[in-house]
Amino acid sequence: MTDLNITRVDATEADFDTVLDSMLAWESVSDAQMQSTVAEIIAEVRQRGDAALMEYSAKFDRFFVNSMAELTLDAEAIEAAFNRLPEDKQQALRVSAQRVEDYHRHQVAESWHYTDETGVVLGQQVTALDRVGIYVPGGVAPLASSVIMNAMPAKVAGVSDIIMTTPAPDGKVSDFVLGAAFVAGVSEVYLLGGAQAVAALAYGTETVPNVDKIVGPGNAFVATAKQQVFGKVGIDMIAGPSEILVVCDGKTNPDWIAMDLFSQAEHSHDAQAILISHDRDYLDQVQASIEKLLPTMERQDTILQSLNDRGLFIRVKVLDDAKALINRIAPEHLELSIDDPESWLADIRHAGAIFMGRHTSEALGDYCAGPNHVLPTSGTARFFSPLGVYDFQKRSSLIGASATAASELGQVVSVLARGELLTAHARSAEQRIDD
């Protein structure tokens, strides 16, 4: 294992802005070659449907099948996978799903309308999407939590058909992932991965139905495919590497903070872990905890590279200076490991999820606190929000004019439309004006 070398910088130094911008920089998800490869895969799936999917499963996942039935799991098979799990995992999945469901029920938007002073009925009708596709990665980590976080808000929103795709390398799929699909209300599962799965969800094949929206994380090929099919279907967001920003006043056990930083660094080499404190000695203590604990971690090589490449310790003059940095960084996960975290909330404008207090680890949010763990990354918390029920509902405007209102407002339309030289608009409204 190579030496730990986390970048440390003082916010008062002249080159601080340059260092911070360099450390935060993250390139686009794909280059021209990847864009071309993904476009070719999407075109093949559109043209050849199931046949292309089976060929790509053999090529990329070493899963050789003779029919799409071997790549399809119905509700009965999903439930059977849940039943094969040990009781502790079944119970953990149930608790997580229930807490996520309870939280997201607070997000449900209702239809509404009112009648204004002119007699016009105005409002908004809220309806759920018909069918949603969830992509679940099939790598080393069986991401059961990702299934719950993506499917449950769709279920709460009232989506009638929730389907899932997940790759099955060498024909193997995790019962833990399938068990999560069962508790989250997934209708059926297709053992498909990569750009080909995204293409199938977007355009449909003889077996896979097309959906209205695709959500869920994936590698660069998946992210690129989501970019390319956007417009045909909705997507949640294009996620970058996982991030955590911890602000600490120096009073939290440094071992806790070290492990919180590890919790994101273990995701990938590109993940980012940042610690801000005004206490130089405390930063030294956390570094010592990292050096002590890192050899005990199963994913220590990944953590080490993440911390060396993108890890950052920032010393501020006073702790309040961290507030401006939070809004500048707009982190995916923000831990406020301080005495009175609620007093900071009014000053924080940009963060995907805010974890308040010393006992609130980011891991709670990842699994079972209740809020969604699908969060904006790479500074996009400036304009994106966590995945929620609102991502699976759409809104239609309601307008209903009486004869009197049509006549009164029609005169306004006449002036505005003729001012824009759109006379058909004007005459359409003018026909309803009382003489």
Residues with a catalytic annotation lie at 332-333
**Residue 420, marked binder:** yes
Instruction: Give, in order, the Cα–Cα distances in Å from 66 to each of 41, 51, 52, 209, 232.
Output: 20, 10, 12, 20, 30
Amino acid identity, position 103: Y
Q: Around Cβ 59, how many Cβ atoms within 10 Å? A: 12
* Structure-token pair, residue 264: 């994101």
**Residue 298, marked binder:** no
Q: What are phi and psi of 124, to 5 degrees?
A: -145, 130
Residue (of 427, 430, 423) closest to 407 by Cα position = 430
Residue (of 415, 251, 272) closest to 341 by Cα position = 251
**Residue 113, marked binder:** no
CA dist 51 and 68 (Å) reads 9
In 73-216, which ranges are continuous DSSP H helix? 75-84, 87-105, 144-157, 175-183, 194-203
CA dist 194 and 188 (Å) reads 18
SS3 (DSSP) at 408: helix
Residue (of 79, 85, 194, 93) closest to 136 by Cα position = 194
Rg of the Cα atoms in the chain: 25
**Residue 408, marked binder:** no
- Strand ranges (DSSP E) for 78-210? 112-115, 121-128, 131-135, 161-165, 188-190
**Residue 390, marked binder:** no
CA dist 195 and 220 (Å) reads 9
CA dist 400 and 392 (Å) reads 26
Give the DSSP letter string of 166-178. ---GGG---HHHH
Residues 6+ apart with CB under 8 A from 365: 333, 353, 355, 371, 373
Q: Around Cβ 413, how many Cβ atoms within 10 Å? A: 19
**Residue 333, marked binder:** yes
Instruction: Look up tokens 């009175």; give the residue.
Output: 340
**Residue 219, marked binder:** yes
Strand partners, 230: 233
SS3 (DSSP) at 287: helix
**Residue 210, marked binder:** no
**Residue positions forming the annotated binding site for Zn(2+):** 264, 267, 366, 425
**Residue positions forming the annotated binding site for NAD(+):** 135, 196, 219
**Residue positions forming the annotated binding site for substrate:** 242, 264, 267, 333, 366, 420, 425
